[in-house]
Amino acid sequence: EATKLGAFDLLSKPLDRDKLLVTVRNAIQQAKISEEYEKLQEHVEGKRRILGESAKMKEILAVIHQVAPTDARVLITGENGTGKELIAHALHRGSKRNAKQFVEVNCAAIPSEMIESELFGHEKGSFTGATALRIGKFEQADGGTLFLDEIGDMSLQAQAKVLRALEEGTIERVGGSKLIPVDVRVLSATNKKLEEEIGKGNFRNDLFHRLNVIPVHAPALREHRDDIPVLVQSFIEDVCTRNGIARKTISDDAMNVLLQRDWPGNVRELKNAVERLVILSHGSSIDIDVLDVFGGSSGDQTGSLEVSGTFQEFKERAEAMFIKKQLEIHKWNVTKTAEAMEIQRSHLYTKMKRYGLAKDDEGEE
């Protein structure tokens, strides 16, 4: 009864000195291990924090706070790189199942012929190569949370078995005949529009409704740009810490450039970009001069360059695009833009007039 209430060990009277010393030593060692584990867990969970102070992110955090303590299934949608996995972890962390396993399955990364074995396990000898019994993800997550990432890429055959598992609370290993009860909360995520996939015959309508009890949409980064400074500062700190680099800051001009980009790869792309900037920048500050590491990536705010027409027309379009980008970088300050481009200010004015580049409220000239 005492050990159930938290006692480390029991000592009977009269006390044995050697046993007492061993017990105390073991208790201290166990306490240190527990403390180290808690610190490690805090570090890992810290990396999984959902960052953002925008209205959209506050709305998501509010939904997580309300839904996490329940066993309701949640379908998380959104583009690649928007943090769908972080939302799933937050839901598990806030649930009554948080002391149990969080098991993740990337349905897109597993060959269709192996997905059933991965999810439900298999019996020894059930197919060629099945040399031992395998416990599937559903059984591993028993009592905890199962996160089915990229659920839209799952085969129809596997979808049917997942549906049965959700409806009946039991699974059957591949090659087996025994029904195994499982107590699992299922969270799922996809970057596909499942309603469209249903129309194409690629996804089961009944499974969709089973999974989509609580829908949560992870917004694209371009939809909450005001969170970029918070994300950038966090990523800078993380990169510096991991690589033993002295803490760096980022200039306002450099931050403004990051704010103007489209970020088609969303938060994941921003994180990778910040890591490049921290590592490639000299000194203690990330300034605008290092941003050429982006080159002409797909996230460029200037958009795609049309390649139709004559060569002369193409050159003019490219020049207009380049000048516009430089003006935006320098907040439409013509003097600074001309200096950066190493041309006369009057020459820049001529080209701006030629290409119709103007801003109502220009900076100091």
pLDDT at position 118 is: 92
- Kindly state whether residue 18 falls inside one of the protein's structural domains: no
pLDDT at position 64 is: 97
pLDDT at position 297 is: 40
What is the torsional sign of CA 277, 281, 285, 287? negative
Measure the CA–CA gap between 253 and 332, rounded to whole angstroms.
12
What is the torsional sign of CA 277, 279, 281, 287? positive
- Read off the pLDDT band of 296 (50, 70, 90): very low
**Domain of 70?**
55-219
- Residue 71: name the closest of 166, 137, 177, 160 by CA: 166
Q: Work out the widest C-alpha separation in the chain, in whole angstroms.
A: 100
Pair of tokens at residue 240: 């510096």
More confident of the two residues 299 and 83: 83
- Kindly state whether residue 16 falls inside one of the protein's structural domains: no
Per residue in 5-26, pLDDT (tens digit) is 556 676 777 777 777 777 777 7
- Read off the pLDDT band of 1 (50, 70, 90): low
| CA–CA distances in Å: residue 113 to residues 62, 87, 190, 330 | 39, 29, 20, 55
> pLDDT at residue 82 above 70?
yes
In one-letter notation, the amino acid at residue 284 is: S
Pair of tokens at residue 148: 């089915």
| CA–CA distances in Å: residue 198 to residues 83, 96, 148, 154, 156 | 24, 33, 18, 13, 11
Per residue in 178-188, pLDDT (tens digit) is 899 999 999 99
Exposure on the CB side of residue 244, measured as CA atoms within 13 A: 0
Q: Considering only 38-42, 292-296, 333-337, 354-358, which range has the smallest mean pLDDT?
A: 38-42
Measure the CA–CA gap between 259 and 230, rounded to whole angstroms.
11
pLDDT at position 299 is: 42
Per residue in 205-252, pLDDT (tens digit) is 999 999 999 999 999 999 999 999 999 999 999 999 988 989 999 999
Instruction: Compute φ and ψ for 170, nearest 5 degrees.
Output: -135, 155
User: What integer best gives the mean pLDDT of the chain?
Assistant: 84
Total count of domains within the chain: 3
Does residue 280 sit in the same domain as residue 339? no
Does residue 333 sit in the same domain as residue 276? no
Rg of the chain taking only CA atoms, in angstroms: 28
- Residue 101: name the closest of 76, 137, 68, 126 by CA: 137
In one-letter notation, the amino acid at residue 348 is: L
Does residue 249 sit in the same domain as residue 123? no
> pLDDT at residue 42 above 70?
no
Of the chain, the percentage scoring pLDDT greater than 70 comes to: 84
Does residue 213 sit in the same domain as residue 66? yes
Whether residue 14 is preceded by a cis peptide bond, meaning omega within 30 degrees of 0, is yes
pLDDT at position 294 is: 55
> pLDDT at residue 109 above 90?
no
Domain with 282 in it: what CATH number?
1.10.8.60
Does residue 246 sit in the same domain as residue 188? no
Pair of tokens at residue 166: 């959700």
> pLDDT at residue 276 above 60?
yes
What number is the average pLDDT over the span 116-126? 88
Does residue 350 sit in the same domain as residue 211? no
